[in-house]
Amino acid sequence: MPNPAASHDLDRREALGTMGLALAGVVAADPVAAGVEDRGANIKITSLRGIPCGPKTFLKIETDKKVVGWGEVTGCEPKVAAVLAESLFELLDGENPTRVEHLWQKLFRSHRDMRGGSIMVHVISGIDMALWDITGKLWGVPVYRLLGGPLRDKVRMYPSPKATKLGTGGPNPFSGNPGDVMGLVKGIENLRKEKGPDYAIMFDAHCAIPPAMLIQFAAAVEPYNILWLEEPACPGNIEVFKRLKQQIRIPIALGERDRTIWEVISYLQNGCIDILQPDVGQTGGISQMRKIAALCEAYHVPLAPHNTCSELGLSASVHASAATTLFLIQEGYLDGHIMPAGVARKNWAVDADGYASLPQGPGLGVEMDEAMIAKVAADPKKTFKWPKPTYADGAVRDY
């Protein structure tokens, strides 16, 4: 006997099939759809050059479509970074630069014994910036458009006329006398009296105030309502940060020396911090900044990105900050002490209230002057020097 249910299913499948063909015909005939071009479909990486420039390394990635991307490696010996980047080109040669996440994973996971290492991740950070730069240029849009679009019209910055960060002024003892502690507090007290309650003051311990003295300092500085206490201890032992968080009532910020989602997640899981400070040039580039921001959102922890790059790496961070949900403030130095003016030329500006306009133009929106790069690279005064941190008695200190 014929099965009515089976017959009904067959009729339904035929109808759906006919509908699908009809829709396909409509799409094929649609002149708008027919004119859509995937600009990222047929492009290949052809070269990668690492260029040491003072304390930084600039990376130039070229393609067969003449679209060039630039990235910056920071926090790394420049000559080493350049050589490693050019070695990693072996994994990028002929690849499509718009497959940014795929290439990030390919580089990061390529060698099991170097995975997650600081030098490797810093170099990947620069490559990642350059890949986003190429992708934005291909589509003719700023990078933040590719990140879901800007969540704000301007990006709060420091240092600015409305915000600044104070430091330790050098190494400090493991536990301080009143004079040691109050000497640090006095600078904050004076600045608060001068600038008033609407001025943002941050204090960077720089891992240079050991925990015992830091607890003393934090208690003494409480009345002055600083925005945060930064880098309370050297990374490595989560128990130290848990202990400090239990005894310090000032918001704690850290993260500039922690790389990728895997190094920051324990801070969030253990409730050790109030503000996270990833650095786009050190944590794994824009790609990892995005993932870290998502982790922080789940824990209601805002981002205050650290940045000591030139205008190139700083612009990459501004793009990421513009598209980040829980964003507090962006660090960035435009006075020329990190990189002379003209090497990297941004197209955004900071207003009198300390807000940066959004970068314009395709990609990162930064023009690189290779003649200026060469000039800085040849200046012996700009050469990278290894730090030699010591206490007054000659003992080696952390930072």
Annotation says 8 is catalytic: no
In a domain, 115, yes or no: no
Look up the domain containing 326 and give its range: 146-363
Q: Which residue has the tokens 């330790």?
A: 168
At residue 33, the pLDDT reads 55
Looking at residue 218, its amino acid is A
| 81-105 average pLDDT score | 98
In a domain, 214, yes or no: yes
Q: Residue 361: left if φ>0, alpha if ψ -120 to 50, beta else—which one?
A: left
Q: Residue 312: which CATH number?
A: 3.20.20.120
In a domain, 60, yes or no: no
In a domain, 95, yes or no: no
At residue 32, the pLDDT reads 55
Q: Given 8, 102, 122, 206, which residue is catalytic? A: 206
In a domain, 151, yes or no: yes
Q: How far apart are CA 74 and CA 279, in angstroms?
A: 9
Number of structural domains found in the chain: 1
Annotation says 306 is catalytic: yes
What digits encode the pLDDT tens for the residues 165-183? 999 876 665 556 777 788 8
In a domain, 357, yes or no: yes
In a domain, 122, yes or no: no
In a domain, 307, yes or no: yes
At residue 213, the pLDDT reads 87
What digits encode the pLDDT tens for the residues 266-318? 999 999 999 999 999 999 999 999 999 999 999 999 999 999 999 999 999 99
pLDDT > 90 fraction of the chain, expressed in percent and rounded = 80
Q: Calculate Rg over the CA atoms of the chain.
A: 25
Q: Given 102, 111, 306, 337, which residue is catalytic? A: 306
The edge-to-edge listing of strands for the beta sheet with 228-230 is 163-167, 200-204, 228-230, 252-254, 275-276
What digits encode the pLDDT tens for the residues 26-48? 344 455 556 677 888 899 999 99
pTM here? 0.90
Q: How far apart are CA 55 and CA 290, in angstroms?
A: 26
